[in-house]
Structure 1
Amino acid sequence: MFKKFIGWKFVLLSTAVIIVVGTIWYVSSLASKIEEEETKKVATWVAANRELLQASDETNINLAAEIITNNTSIPVIITNKEGHIIDSRNLDSVRLAHDTDYIQEQLDIFRKQHPPFVMEIDGRTRQYNFIYYGDSLILKQVRYYPYIQLVVVAFFIFLVLIALSSTNRATQNLVWVGMAKETAHQLGTPLSSIEAWIELLKESEGNELVASELRKDVDRLKLITERFSKIGSVPQLEEKDVIQQVEAMMIYIKKRAPQKVLFTMHTQENEIPAMISPSLFDWVIENLLKNALDSMEGKGAIDIYIESYPAHIIIDITDTGKGIPKANFEKVFKPGFSTKKRGWGLGLSLAKRIIEDYHKGRLTVKSSELNKGTTFRILLRK
């Protein structure tokens, strides 16, 4: 399925490239033809001027004058053999009147665009003029039109992609929220029933220990239910000690981790208050610690570093596991991405959303090296 998707993307991209190249080639060919026609028109115009100077027949004079008058689109500048400008046609009259350098600038441009025509004035005295001409407005429009069109189309495609991305993200959010709330709802009924059974167990002698342990598991399930129920709604942030929250989750995971895994927390502070949603924040720490455990396969070390700064708090969770390839640093936070044989690949995605959307912080892979370990970084605003 993935290969098929990549294949379709390649086909669409190739088609777009072919259309772009074909459009540019066709317009360039069309512009070349128009340029040839304009060169012929200028040659006719020069011949008409020459005829006007030499003709004695009134008919020829009228015809030459008409040809000269009909040139209203191709800009022309006439200079003598010394290079002094004698006359011009079809230039911007407003700029001609207000900008003394305008006509010289146009002459320099015309010299680069086309070779001049030479018009002999008097063969005996060797007087002749140079006729320089530039591209007409129509030719300029034809040349630049495909590039302008491509920019507009690219901008439109960019807007469409942003809209599709936003729509897909909104759809994903709705799915996550729906799944989370439905899970919380489904857990509610059996939890209520289990609590009733715990009360019955308490009434019978000899079941106190069983009832106590069941109560711990039920409280844990209620906490999970609370977390799921808060997905999709704006959580109420409370001022809590970050060190205490992280330490509590570390102790909880440590009790359930293999004995060969060493847990250590490093901090120079006694207390670091911050505005957090305790249950959701604990979920993030728990998820990161469980991921660290999974990557180490039963032995290694997990170090937690907490540092306080004037505007923010940094929490680094480092493990000695198998590491993450650099190409996957961003992918690990995408829904559905997982290196485990089991799992939906939603844990880190939800953790990132909790930190960034609800706590306005950041969750990133700070560093990772294959077979040496990974460091996840949480940045919280104070």
Structure 2
Amino acid sequence: MFKQFIGWKFTLVAVAVVIIVTTIWFVNNLSEKIQQEETKKVATWVEANQELLKASPDANLNLAVEIIRTNTTIPIILTDDHGNIIDHRNLDSAAVTANGSYLQNELNDFRKQHPPFIMAIDAKTNNYIYYGDSLILKQVRYYPYIQLLVVALFIGIVLFALSSTNRATQNLVWVGMAKETAHQLGTPLSSMEAWLEILKEKEEIVPMVTEMAKDVDRLKLITDRFSKIGSVPNLEERNIVEQVANMVAYIRKRAPQKVQFRLQSEEREVVAMISPPLFDWVVENLLKNALDAMEGKGEIIVLIENHLAHITIDVTDTGKGIPKAYHDKIFHPGFSTKKRGWGLGLSLAKRIIQDYHKGRLSVKWSEVNKGTTFRIWLRK
């Protein structure tokens, strides 16, 4: 599904690039042709004015007058030999009246856009016709940028929709898998509890039955955790120090003897609202990851700090560390640096902290061959 989503993103971007490149190429050609036509129109307009100046009293000037009259789109400024503005056409009359420097600014722009046409008044006097781009030509030139903005906005909306759909689908998969697991575990657990009650009647195996009962209780806890995924958890006020200490004690009993555990907290009681089964799952997952990273020897330090508005729990190990490039990827579903496993533990842990406890789970520090620190951040 993730690869399919990436494929859709690439396809959308590729289509957008093709559309934009094609549009820019087409619009550039079109604007070039429009500019050439406008230049021809200005040249014709200049010839018409020249014809009026040279015409005899009885000449038919209807065509020249019509050519001059019909130029209503191309802005023109007429100057003398010294650059003084004599006349202008098709400019914003309100701006001309309100701003004394408007005409001069437009003239400067026209000089940069096109070379002027020269109109001979007499043997010694010339006028210069400067012209700019028409409004239509400007709109055609700006069109690709407007289209680029629209296409980018469209792609952004589509990608956001696809991303939201992808996340929603993933959530449904995790929730469905978790609840189905809890359902499947429920039946054999009920049967095991019944058998334990029968075995308790035999006094010679009571110690063995007691240990088996602990494992059954552990399976029931795991089932309870899975059943709570996807449901709104009931948050309870709990002492975080005690909650974490219980999980550290549980993992310590099952860890190699060469692994040392230290729980540090300046206060014996640090209270926060949590879902105990789900929070324990997160802490257990971090401790087990730390054990896996150290490969049988090292030290795990759990530091709890009580701040004014929040609580932090840092789980530090002296293991092999995590390359910086993987700091964000390790929380993605399916990503794992281990040879075994599905890469779901940290992903689910992050979801539990963020979605259910409104906190944060992140890699605070990690260095290859030195260790890693995961931080849980909780509001008080």
TM-score interval, smaller chain: over 0.9
How many Å apart are 1:3 and its aligned residue? 9.4
How many Å apart are 1:329 and its aligned residue? 0.8
The farther-off stretch of 16-25 and 334-343 is 16-25
Distance verdict in 2 for CA 1:15–1:152, change over 3 Å: closer
The alignment partner of 1:206 has SS state of helix
- 2:114 is matched with 114
> How big is each residue's C-alpha offset from its partner over 1:84-143, in whole Å with a ceiling of 9 and x where there is no partner?
2221111123333433333232222212111211212122xx222221111011111111
How many Å apart are 1:16 and its aligned residue? 4.5
- 1:40 is matched with 40
Structure-to-structure mapping, 1:1-382, within 5 angstroms: 13=13, 16-56=16-56, 58-123=58-123, 126-382=124-380
Q: Report the TM-score when normalising by structure 2.
A: 0.94
Distance 1:88 1:97 in 2: 13
How many Å apart are 1:202 and its aligned residue? 1.2
Gaps of 5+ in 2: none
Distance 1:275 1:189 in 2: 32
Distance verdict in 2 for CA 1:232–1:155, change over 3 Å: same
> How big is each residue's C-alpha offset from its partner over 1:337-362, in whole Å with a ceiling of 9 and x where there is no partner?
11122211111000000111111111
The alignment partner of 2:341 has SS state of coil
Distance 2:194 2:14 in 1: 65
> How big is each residue's C-alpha offset from its partner over 1:202-223, in whole Å with a ceiling of 9 and x where there is no partner?
1222121122111111111111
Distance verdict in 2 for CA 1:217–1:44, change over 3 Å: same
Q: For the Cα contact (< 8 Å) 2:119–2:129, is it kept in 1?
A: yes
Q: For the Cα contact (< 8 Å) 2:9–2:159, is it kept in 1?
A: no
The alignment partner of 2:269 has SS state of coil
> How big is each residue's C-alpha offset from its partner over 1:208-254, in whole Å with a ceiling of 9 and x where there is no partner?
11221111111111111111111111111111111111111111111
- Specify the code of the residue in structure 2 equivalent to 1:179: M
How many Å apart are 1:81 and its aligned residue? 2.1
How many Å apart are 1:83 and its aligned residue? 2.1
- Specify the code of the residue in structure 2 equivalent to 1:184: A
Q: For the Cα contact (< 8 Å) 1:76–1:134, is it kept in 2?
A: yes
- Specify the code of the residue in structure 2 equivalent to 1:75: P
How many Å apart are 1:313 and its aligned residue? 1.0
- Specify the code of the residue in structure 2 equivalent to 1:344: W
Distance verdict in 2 for CA 1:212–1:76, change over 3 Å: same
Equivalenced residues, count:
380
The alignment partner of 1:310 has SS state of coil
Q: Report the TM-score when normalising by structure 1.
A: 0.94
Percent identity over paired residues: 70
- Specify the code of the residue in structure 2 equivalent to 1:197: W
How many Å apart are 1:191 and its aligned residue? 1.0
The alignment partner of 2:355 has SS state of helix
Q: For the Cα contact (< 8 Å) 1:51–1:60, is it kept in 2?
A: no
Distance 2:60 2:371 in 1: 93
